[in-house]
Structure 1
Amino acid sequence: MAGARDTLIGYLGWHGRGNLGDDAIYDAVHGQIPAARFVDIPRFPIEVIASYATGLDRNLRRSTLVVGGGTVVGRRPWRKWTSRGMALNRNSGNYAIGVGVEDPGFVGRKSGSDKGELRHWLPILSEFSVVSVRGPRSAELLSDIGLSVEVSGDPALLLPRPRVTAEDGLIGVNVGFGDDLWGHDPARVVEEVSKAVSRLSADGYRFVGILMNRDDRRWTERALAGVPAEIVHPADANAAASEFARCSVVIASRLHAGILAALSETPTITLEYQPKCRDFALSIDDERSLIRTDNVSSATVVDRVGETLADSSAIRAKTRGIVGRLRERLAADYAMLARELDLASA
């Protein structure tokens, strides 16, 4: 058996850069293979230069590539970085478990998914030992280029379920948009959410703003302007999951706000700012949660909150069952990886 620190995982993701969603994926993956030593695949020129100077590039030749990072497949920069990871380990073992596929129907400012990008991924992913995806739309997109894959769910679903009791009448709010959104007008979305919050506050609901990224603060503050509300920036993904767990319902745009809320079966109104939000919602059979950002209105948000709370028990029960099954699929994929690394009993 390999020693506890002899097995190297070359991890390709976006963790450690101030976004709790990417940190959630990394923490979940690391938690499934704790006996391995994780090292980051160099991406930017300065990191590549440093890898030569420190000998990291030589170490990575005996590593297994694990692609995390969320919505990576179908994006041009990630194709370059994935190919670099495969070259470094000389294609000795490559895994992409629960990855997201960028929908070419949405081209954000930095997505790099135009010009038929996705078709260039077929020869790359065909060299992987395992490819599974976050949701059914991701599976459909890969099927379109000739690759059949299973839906395993987002790896962050493997984080511990929070042991927190939900507070009646407490609504969690998370507003943030990344590089772009449907409708291209974040200010209008925030204005509509703010109007909804004011109406719900008048009905006696309380609010907590939950940041997944420091850039969310300006939008979340504007959404909660005029109502008494604490705004928290959790220290890590587990703390964020606990914040969502204490809410009776969550209004959220960030993808992993919804994913971490699903860990505690907290009903969510998803402001679908990019297709990846729909991809995850469909993976847990929760299309009713979606309001696209180019079609959001305060009235729709208020109505959806009322409908969701009225059906809260059923939503929680269904989410618990589906998330439980996805956790089993993800765990099985990572258990297979551990066995192939001879770490199953490490």
Structure 2
Amino acid sequence: MNTPSHRSLVYLGWLGHQNFGDDLLHATWQRALDRPLDCIAPLHRRDYARSPLKFLAQRFRMRGSERLVLLGGGTTIGFDSWAYHLGTAARAFGAAGAVVPGAGAAESTDAHALGLQRTNWPAWRALTRTALLGVRGPLTAAECAQHWRPTEVLGDPALLYPLLMEPRPRPLRRTTIGVCVGSDPTSRFDPAVVARAVESFAAERGLESVTVFRLSPDDRDAVDALVDQFSLPVRTVAYTGDIDTVMREIGACSAFVSERLHGAVASVALGVPTVPLSYASKCDDFWLSVTGSRSPVTVGHSEDELLQAMRAASADASILAVRSRVVELQEKLQRSVALLRNWLAGDLDTSKLMNDEVRP
């Protein structure tokens, strides 16, 4: 067996864009593994050439170690670009293989997602030195079983993050409702319809204000358009790199409506009644993992549909059911973390991890 100093991870993810979801995944793995994960694989071959000294310095720090590439999550499985990124990172860093815990895939019927990126399942099947520890949700599990290999549902890795935060007392009375809209490349939801439903729910619950979250710089126009629709007092929380502050702001909400996937993941993990605005299959994939059903609110929804979904999500039975399922997924994710920690410590043989001999 290798000693701990002879095992290293190369992190692969969409970093450096001030995107809350991608940064949240990276931070989750860092805290869960108690590792800085500061060796970040570039996403393009040209990036290796543009920063050769940085790349060589990373390789030098890892000299003499056995390496694996860790794909942090996100909707990556099945896409041609991410198969390329995984293969390139493994070759460039001399990795023994790759580990994929909790990532997602687009459903084969998802015209929106598949119009943005091209799938290439043969390229994923060619990644023979890849340990698939589990996936984000049942839609991804079905796609993997059909096109790649069977696996189980682990849940989104970011569900672990609240367990890793420094505990802070929650507000005694939560008087605001949180809303997050996104752009991929633009919001697919009518801000006026969303605002009317949110204000109707706020009036029913005696809530005093709305907190609108901007979780990516790309969302500025969508957020501005939504803010203009409210008559209630509105404050905006923009993610600028401080994950814990945003998480605590989400945790202070009495309910949360989110178009951004990881806005919904964060609020569910924090125990906040949540309604995802489902604009692509990745939203349903996650929602199925925690509720067993697809999101009831999709593109073109009515004010009443969103209002009814918010009422249902805030019912005690729904809150308890989601919480129970989140705990189950957190336990599965923690077993994946334990596998990686054991590998890093030299207590788990790489060949067993790569050959599917151990699983969470």
Could you tell me the TM-score, scaled by structure 1's length?
Answer: 0.86
Residue 99 of structure 2 corresponds to residue 95 of structure 1: yes
Bigger drift between 328-337 and 89-98 goes to: 89-98
- Corresponding residue for residue 274 of structure 1: 280
1:30 partnered with 2:30: yes
SS in 1 for 2:210: strand
Contact persistence 2:138–2:289 (CA under 8 A): yes
Q: CA deviation at 1:36?
A: 6.2
Corresponding position of 2:341: 338
CA distance in 2 between counterparts of 1:253 and 1:166 reads 27
**Conserved? CA contact 1:173–1:220, under 8 Å:** no
RMSD of aligned C-alpha atoms? 2.7
In 1, Cα distance between the equivalents of 2:94 and 2:140? Answer: 27
Contact 1:42-1:51 within 8 A present in 2 as well:
no
Q: CA deviation at 1:90?
A: 4.0
1:155 pairs, out of 154, 157, 181, with 157
Question: In 1, distance between residues paired with 2:37 and 2:200?
Answer: 51
Match of 1:104 among 108, 133, 137: 108
The alignment partner of 2:190 has SS state of helix
1:290 and 2:296 matched: yes
Amino acid at match of 1:218: D
| In the alignment, structure 1 residue 321 sits paired with structure 2 residue 324 | yes
1:135-157 Cα offsets, whole Å, 9 max, x none, are 11100000011401111111111
Corresponding residue of 2:190: 189
**1:141 alignment partner in structure 2:** 143
Distance 2:257 2:218 in 1: 17
Deviations 1:292-324 (A, max 9, x none): 11x311121122223333x1x222222222111
* Contact 2:284/2:295, CA 8 A, preserved across alignment: no
- Superposition pairs for residues 1-346 of structure 1, below 5 Å? 2=3, 7-35=7-35, 37-50=37-50, 52-54=52-54, 55-56=56-57, 58-59=59-60, 62-108=66-112, 113-114=117-118, 117-124=120-127, 126-161=128-163, 163=168, 164-165=170-171, 167-179=173-185, 186=188, 189-200=190-201, 203=204, 204-205=206-207, 206-225=209-228, 226-227=230-231, 228-234=233-239, 235-285=241-291, 287=293, 289-293=295-299, 295-309=300-314, 311=315, 313-342=316-345
SS in 2 for 1:292: coil
The one-letter code matched in structure 2 to 1:232 is V
Aligned residues between the structures = 334
Alpha carbons 1:94, 1:129 under 8 Å: kept:
yes
Report the AA paired with residue 314 of structure 1.
A
Kept in 2, the 8 Å contact 1:278–1:290? The answer is no
CA distance, structure 1, for counterparts of residue 173 and residue 211 of structure 2:
11
Q: In the aligned structure 2, how far is the partner of 1:90 from the partner of 1:220?
A: 43
Displacement of 1:220 in angstroms is: 2.5
- State percent identity of aligned pairs: 25
Change (3 A) 1:286 1:247: farther
Contact preservation (8 Å) 2:285, 2:294: no
Flag the 1:109–1:56 CA change in 2: closer, same or farther, 3 A.
farther
User: For residues 288 and 77 of structure 1, what CA distance do their matches in structure 2 show?
Assistant: 27
Distance 2:82 2:115 in 1: 10
SS in 2 for 1:150: coil
Flag structure 1 segments of 5+ consecutive residues without an equivalent: none
Alpha-carbon shift at residue 102 of structure 1 (Å): 2.3
Q: Any unmatched runs of 5+ in structure 2?
A: 348-360
What is the SS of the residue equivalent to 1:219?
helix
How far apart, CA to CA, are the structure 1 residues paired with 2:302 and 2:24?
30
Q: 1:109 to 1:261 in 2, by over 3 A?
A: closer
Query: Cα distance, 1:46 vs. partner?
Result: 3.9
Please report the TM-score for the alignment, with normalisation by the length of structure 2. Answer: 0.83
Alpha-carbon spacing, 1:301–1:129, altered in 2? closer, same or farther (3 Å): closer
Partner SS state of residue 96, structure 1: strand
Contact 1:173 1:251 in 2 (8 A): yes
**Closer/same/farther in 2, CA of residues 257 and 195 from structure 1, 3 Å limit:** same
Offset of residue 246 of structure 1: 1.3
Q: Which amino acid aligns with 2:91?
A: A
